[in-house]
Structure 1
């Protein structure tokens, strides 16, 4: 299958059209081998040495993601955290990095603790404000600017193109956590990003049955070589079965994301008028602060994630989540099932998440059922 001939949705659906050369199966097998045979001359003509560096089962998922993102190379990791932290570990102690103040809480905590103790100088800013990024970046000193857009769990939007220009002018790289947007909606490399990260546990897999991460690089350069070395030396590779499941999930990425976007937009519009909702946070609403930036870089929808701030504060929010039936109270996002979570209690002290906020991951159920279920939960919580 020629990647230049077909639309990204077709490439994903057929996983680039790869066929197993031995059996002609339309789904390549899982390769369980941990090591590979040397040639008689002591070389490795297969290009493979040991499974901590790579495995044939990785190839299709990495090649498909590279095609979808429009990058040069991709690497899959054992988790989104291992993929993201590799980008910072590829720097040197003393390097200055600028990153989003609102972002995935586990990575933020890692940056505040391990990364700073290791020697990185980490500066957190509101990256949805381009002027704040420009003020924080230090020419010749800042080595990496890291943004998450839309940012979990307030879904603030950072302007990738504008920030890429700021970073590159200062001699820094731009990394983008595009987990929520997915390559269906945004291709950050087209806007100037150097590295794109995904918590592949979420939308790329889409079935809540693996933990995985992924990086796509704009160039196969020295920095990319460091990332590959870090994955191998730290052993943060994905298991063979998980890699196969990731590829299985990526084949339905486009229809899943399209459905979730349509439902999330409908829910956001309805809940924006709900008498028991204080505020709806969703990039697809014209009233949302980041709507213009989102419309510029998100094509085909605004994502399947939204948050609602419940009238009555934290107690009412928690009580609402306790009374849902169709929505599932669970941590994660991007699966086919819709999830609801009181995010502040998960993140704990120091979280920037408002205490009245419920994070909603919209799956592939009927949006009317999802609205009715949360509507009855809101009413029961307020009448309790």
Structure 2
């Protein structure tokens, strides 16, 4: 390693490009290399789950191609390049084409992969997931002519896609082992309101069951559920969650749990190696949302520019993209002790999670109550202060 070795960022999603942009605001001179396994065009991944209503294609979702990002950032952007190995002692990464790159500092912005169910049936391999632009392009192509889509998972992404499919005249059936939508984020009354509004818009739900097999049939696909019932579909979309990409870090000897383990300075267990975004586990927290990675990007950029800066997580409400029932949730910490209190009206729902001492630890607002989100967020203590 020399003083002229670059900062290398592996990953060109919102997290990777976010660090690069924040770094260039503070440091315009240090060489910067961004290594991407795909085309490295800049786009907003959260837009994938509501792109149908806007008649977006994979091409129109790209805001800036890799060449423009490279010019704006004064960086070298390596497209379609896979990192095979990290040598933390030598401070190098080995690419699949045999090239070795030295780094001053290495930032892992590897993202996450969709969790895949172990399904039986002769069409199990036909199940789609949408996790990037290429996935979205395949999904949109297969959607042509489809009128029935089975969505596996009633979490945030599953509900967003179900709502978005309505814009294409598709009838989505959402399947989940849980008993209600967004069961990990919303209290029961708020979840019931979301279900009511989505069903009124045309979404169908099957709760308390899971898909067990997918078979081809004369009319398309047949989804067999764990209770033995079946659902006819033209397409099956899996949206049951994401698993942080940790294999590369683990092979390099970095500490890995659910994600790549980092401290508040986003530092891994190896010197000069950091992790951000969906692949990172920050003091036990894995938060696959936009606001946390923005906080990470600002903090890490300052550290890389010479001012060690710990990440701070203020209250970070999550906007659920379900126009049939506008929803914003700021979930309480997973291990928080307290009680949900919910107020319902004809056009809104406001739920507040209070600790035993009365402190507001989280909230969920739906419909007209979403106007309260800023005032409520100001009252919630941050996750990492």
Structures share fold, TM-score greater than 0.5: no
Higher strand share: 2
Higher helix share: 1
